[in-house]
Amino acid sequence: MNILILTRIANKNGNSIYNSYTQGITNNYPNTIVLDYFDLYFENGKQGFEQVILEQIAIHGIDTIFINFVSGDLTFDLVFLERLSTQCFLMMNFYDTELFFEPIDRYYAQCADIVLLPTASYFTYSYSLLGIHAISTLSLFDSALYQTLDIIKDIDISFVGDVSKKSRRDFVEYLRLQGYQVEVFGQGTVHGNVSFEKMVEIFNRSKINLNFSDTVNERTFNTHSNTDYSLVPNIMRYMTQIKGRSIEVALCGGFVLSQYATGIEELFNENEMALFNSKEELVEKISFYLKEDHQRDVMSENAHKRALQDYDATKAFAHLFSTLSLQKTPKVIYTDTAFLSHYATYHALYLFNFLFKLKISYAWEEFKLMMPFKIHFNTFFSHLKQQFHYQVTRKWMKR
């Protein structure tokens, strides 16, 4: 099997899951070719981007392509993906598909021979209704990155993640009002974002590691990730979502107390992870588990073993490839004006990036791509502000 991976290569303190999937595949197939598709597009423009991929397929005799999509990403031209699907066995992985299935993922997934989902198996039903072969893997990680440290657990309760979400702040503040000391790290906290190494240390130092399962609280544009959450309907605020953070904690031998999410029983059972539904139940479980050191240790050890067995990317891909048939299926690709409008609007990211870098021919490609379709102007100007900040303001300040 000759594999080409198109993914996001995360920096050292970025989201480790992208690199984990890549490592899981390359550990099984060392000659795999890996390309950061964002960098490839920024460097070559649309036509050059597609040409490089086609050249890699020809040069290396690629028969399998794995696209590890960034959540809510619309970089790829659907026509180009259809072309790739005629040449290679096409695998796709969609993060946050609970949110982006309707506006984005189901359209791209039409081109895939198999879709991997880091969520519970119930969501594969949405794909099966469209005749798309999808399987649940839950989130996979490179277990070699995580460590169990022989250090004192001097933090009673911690949470590492985005606390700019109001629902999470409400839970944390409620615990504090009940007299509990909660240490929070990440976006929206006093401590701010922490390094990967620091995160692993926090997991090991904490008696209780909190995990939340909320999805989208505000339908806004995330300037950090270029993700347009305005595509997600308001009603999705009801939805809970299984998070990979619980697995990361378990890989470090930490104890997890997680907010309930539909299908979370597939992730860990009651002997491996504790759950809560409400603020009152959270306080009740905190009070109980802070006193029960032995119970925490037993559950942590059970979860650690489960995580190493089921959620290590290398083992998971070894099993997947051993059972995978490379038989391709005929496809009919459908689209509509809503998807094309989302696609065209997203490419304002590349339009403004190329303009600020004075890559005029590449910018012209994007402009022509966008012209026939209705543009979401709020998102369009959000991309303008974001790229102005990154390509102009930050560089000027460095000088």
- Chunked in runs of 10, what are the mean pLDDT values of the chain (399 residues)? 93 77 96 96 98 98 97 97 96 96 97 96 96 96 95 96 86 95 88 92 98 82 82 82 96 98 96 97 97 97 98 97 86 94 97 96 97 94 91 64
Q: Can you give the pLDDT at residue 65?
A: 98
Q: Which fold has domain 146-310?
A: Rossmann fold (3.40.50)
Dist. CA 274–CA 255, nearest whole Å: 8
Place of tokens 């299908």: 263
Report residue 381 CA to chain centroid gap.
25
Measured CA to CA in angstroms, residue 160 lies from 15, 142, 186, 281 at distances of 13, 19, 6, 21
Q: Identify which of 211, 220, 269, 207 has the alpha carbon closest to the alpha carbon of residue 243.
A: 211
Measured CA to CA in angstroms, residue 139 lies from 16, 45, 239, 266 at distances of 11, 31, 18, 12
For CATH 3.40.50.2000, list the domain ranges present in the chain: 3-142+313-323, 146-310
- The count of other CB atoms within 10 Å of the CB of residue 399 is 4
CA count, 13 A, side-chain hemisphere, 352:
21
Break the chain down into helix, strand, coil percent, rounded to 5.
Answer: 50, 15, 35
Dist. CA 20–CA 33, nearest whole Å: 15
**CATH number corresponding to 3-142+313-323:** 3.40.50.2000
Q: At what angle do helices 37-60 and 360-370 cross, to 10 degrees?
A: 90
Dist. CA 344–CA 367, nearest whole Å: 9
Type and span of the H or E element at 310: helix 293-310
Q: Residue 35: beta bridge partners? A: 6
Dist. CA 203–CA 2, nearest whole Å: 38
